[in-house]
Structure 1
Amino acid sequence: MSGDALLVMVKAPLPGRVKTRLAAAVGDAAALCAYQAMVANVLAAVDASGLPATIVYTPETAREAVVALCGPARQWQPQAPGDLGARMADALSRALADGAQRAVLIGSDLPLVTPSLLRQAAHILARRQAVLGPAADGGYWLIGFRRDGFLPDVFADMPWSTPAVAALTLTRLAAAGRTTGLLPALPDCDTPADLARLAGPPWRERLEATPFGRFLAQGSAAMFDQNPGYR
C-alpha cells in the first residue's frame, strides 16, 4: 500500500546479547542460532508482504554484523538511545516525519509472523488510527500508527516484559481517543518453555518449511525431547 512504512527492530547477532532468557537454559550458541532463524522467518514474511521495510538495528557499532544477518539490499537505521519505549517511539516518529502516512513496527523474533498479517496491519491503518498485535504473554508483537493518530505517550513509563503491556497500551490509546484495530495474538519465543511450545503441535507443523522450523528439527532432540526441564 502506498504511504506505508514497515520497521523491523533487529539486534546484532552477537553471542550473549540476544535471547538472554533463552540462553540461560540452552546456552549462548543455541540461543543465537534460534535468533538467527527467527530473523530469517521474519524477513521472509517482510519481503513477501510487499511493504517497504527498514531495519532499525542496535548497537550502531555493529552494523556490519546486522547486514550479514539480514542481507545488504535493505534500508538501514540505527536505533536511538534509551529504553525500549524510547527506541520504538523514535523509529515510528522518524518514519512518519519522513513522509509515511502509516508506520508499523515489529520485532525480529516472531517465527510465526506472516505476510498476510503484516498487510492486514496496513489495511487496518487505512480506517483506524492505531493497530496492535497482542502477544501470548501479555505484551505485543506489533504496533502501528497512522500519522494523525501517533501517540508517543504509549511508550513512556511502560512496565516492559510484564503481562500488563498490551492492556496498558490499549488503555492509553482509548483514553487519548485513538481508534484502534487488533490483530490475532501470536506466541512469544523468549524462554525455554516458549521454544518447547513452538516445537510441538500445532506450531511445529506450521513452521516446518521455514528456517526456524529447520532449527527446531535440528535441535529438538538435544534441547527439548530429552530434557523435560525445557518444558
Structure 2
Amino acid sequence: MNRTALLVMVKAPLPGQVKTRLAAAIGDAAALAAYRAMVATVLAAADASGLPLTIVFTPAEALETVTGLCGPGRRYQPQAGGDLGARMDAALARALADGADAALLVGSDLPLLTGDRLRQAAAALENTPAVLGPAADGGYYLIGFTRAGYRPEVFRDIPWSTPAVADLTLARLRAAAPADSGDAAAVLPELPDCDEGADLARLAGPPWRKHLAGTPFGEFLAGLTDAAFDHNPGCRLFVGKI
C-alpha cells in the first residue's frame, strides 16, 4: 500500500455540544474536559501511527476553535452536510479521490485508540478491501477502505447510535463483495467508547485504567473527583471506581 490516509472526525469543543450523554452524569464542564482529553489521546495515536492525517471538523465556521483544540500545522477540512453517514461518506470519498490508495476514518472520542491499532488497520487494507473496528456498544470506532473496495452504500439508511450499526455495516460489506473475492472486510478487536457515566466508570477500572496510564485521558481520570458529579449526585458512585 503506497499511501493510506487517516481521517479524524472532530467537533468544536463547545460546552453543551459535545458528549451530551456523559454530561448528564458529570456536567457540561467535566464532559468538555473529558472530550478534550479524548481528542488529545486520539491525536497522539494518529501521530504515532505515522499515517498522513486530516482533521475533518464541524461546524464549518469553527476552524479557529478546532485549531486551538488540535494544534496548528495540521491539515483541516470541514465536514460535509447531512447525517453522520453522509459526512463519513464525503470525507472518505474525498480522500480517495485526492489520490490516497486507502483511507481510514475514526472518531475523536476514543480513549483507548493507539498508533499500533491504526497501523494494524492500515496493514489489513493490504489484503482486504475494507476494515472495521467494532465498538462495545454495537457501533464502530474505525472504518476504512481501499480505493477499489470503497462501498458508500454502507453509510446509507443506517440506524445510527443503535447497537445494530456494526453488524449491519459488516453484513452490507459482505453482501457487496464478489463471491470469489475472499474476506470482504478485516475486523479489528473491539474497543469500549465513552459516551455515558457508566462508560467512564468502566474505563476507570481494570483492565482499561492500566492501558490509559500516561495518556491525556488517563490524566483526566486521575484528576476526577466527587465534585465533577455535582450535576448528578446519583452518579457519584462512579468516582469510587476511579
Could you say whether these structures have the same fold, taking a TM-score greater than 0.5 normalized by the shorter chain as the test? yes
Q: Does 1:192 align with 2:213?
A: no
Structure 2 unpaired stretches of 5+: 179-183
CA contact (8 A) 1:199 1:220 kept: no
* Structure 1 equivalent of residue 125 of structure 2: 125
Q: Report the equivalent of 2:112.
A: 112
1:194 CA drift (Å): 0.3
Counterpart amino acid of 1:183? L
2:198 paired with 1:228: no
Deviation at 1:228, TM superposition (A): 2.0
In the alignment of these two chains, the number of paired residues is 231
Aligned twin of 2:217: 212
Q: Determine if contact 2:41/2:217 at 8 Å carries over to the other structure.
A: yes
Kindly indicate whether the alpha-carbon contact (under 8 Å) linking 2:30 and 2:228 is maintained by their aligned counterparts in 1: no
Q: Label 1:58 to 1:73 Cα distance change in 2 as closer, same or farther (>3 A).
A: same
* Per-residue deviation, 1:14: 0.5
Stretch of structure 1 that moved more, 203-212 or 58-67: 203-212
CA shift, 1:223, in A, is 4.6
Question: Equivalents in 1 of 2:238, 2:6: separation in Å?
Answer: 37
The amino acid of 1:200's aligned partner reads G
Give the whole-Å Cα distance in 2 for the aligned partners of 1:55 and 1:191: 24
Q: Report the TM-score, using the length of structure 2 for normalisation.
A: 0.92
Please say if residues 92 and 104 of structure 1, whose CA atoms lie closer than 8 Å, have aligned partners that are also in contact: yes
Residue number in structure 2 paired with 1:29: 29
Contact 1:9 1:105 in 2 (8 A): yes
Q: What's the % identity of the aligned pairs?
A: 68
SS in 2 for 1:55: strand
1:76 alignment partner AA: Y
What are the Cα deviations for residues 157-183 of structure 1, in whole angstroms up to 9, with x where unaligned? 100010000000000001101620011
Classify the secondary structure of the residue corresponding to 1:153.
helix
Q: Describe the shift of the 1:229–1:117 C-alpha distance in structure 2 as closer, same or farther (beyond 3 A).
A: closer
- Render the CA deviation track for 1:2-23: whole Å, top value 9, x for unaligned: 3110000000000011001111
Structure-2 separation of matches of 1:204 and 1:220: 16
1:58 is aligned to 58
Alpha-carbon shift at residue 220 of structure 1 (Å)? 4.2
Deviation of the 1:222 alpha carbon: 3.9
Q: Does 2:185 align with 1:180?
A: yes
Q: Structure 1 length as normaliser, TM-score? A: 0.96
- Structure 1 ranges of 4+ moved more than 3 A: 220-226
Counterpart in the other structure of 1:46 = 46
What SS does the aligned partner of 1:112 have?
coil
Checking the alignment, whether the CA contact within 8 Å between 1:56 and 1:79 is kept in structure 2 is yes
Structure 1 residue 35, shift from structure 2 partner? 0.1
SS in structure 1 opposite 2:223? helix
Query: Which runs of 5 or more residues in structure 1 are unaligned?
Result: none
Cα deviation digits, residues 49-92 of structure 1 (max 9, x gap): 00000000000111101000000111110000000000000000
| Counterpart position of 2:92 | 92
Q: Which amino acid aligns with 2:236?
A: N
Distance 1:37 1:229 in 2: 19
Retained in 2: the 8 A contact 1:204–1:213?
yes
- Most deviating of 85-94 and 216-225: 216-225
